């Protein structure tokens, strides 16, 4: 069950914050070398470190876009 993140503007604020927090935690686990294999139901399942960092940039851009409204 891979989540599609192509249209982050459709996510609610709460879901976007949850995604940001999960990404930050996942990147930190990659950095420390303690990353786990995520279950298929996890929103970041199947993403490697580079993909997480790219998604993090997209999420932060969406936050800035919403703050400017």
What is the rounded average pLDDT of the residues 19-28? 96
3, part of any domain: no
2, part of any domain: no
Place of tokens 């420390």: 32
39, part of any domain: yes
Q: Which two tokens stand for residue 48?
A: 């490697």
- How far apart are the C-alpha atoms of 40 and 13, rounded to whole Å? 24
15, part of any domain: yes
Structure confidence at residue 1 (pLDDT): 40
What whole-number percentage of the chain has pLDDT above 90? 70
47, part of any domain: yes
Sign of the four-CA dihedral 60, 16, 24, 58: negative
pTM above 0.95, yes or no: no
Mean pLDDT, all residues of the chain: 90
Per-residue pLDDT tens digits for 39-68 = 988 999 999 999 999 999 999 999 999 998
Number of independent structural domains in the chain: 1
1, part of any domain: no
56, part of any domain: yes
pLDDT at 2 over 70: no
Range of the domain at 50: 8-67
């Amino acid at each position: 069950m891979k989540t599609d993140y192509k249209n982050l503007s459709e996510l609610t604020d709460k879901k976007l914050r949850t995604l940001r927090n999960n990404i930050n935690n996942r990147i930190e686990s990659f950095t420390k070398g303690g990353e786990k294999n995520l279950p298929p139901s996890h929103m970041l399942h199947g993403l490697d470190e580079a993909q997480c960092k790219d998604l993090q940039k997209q999420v932060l851009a969406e936050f800035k876009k919403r703050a400017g409204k």
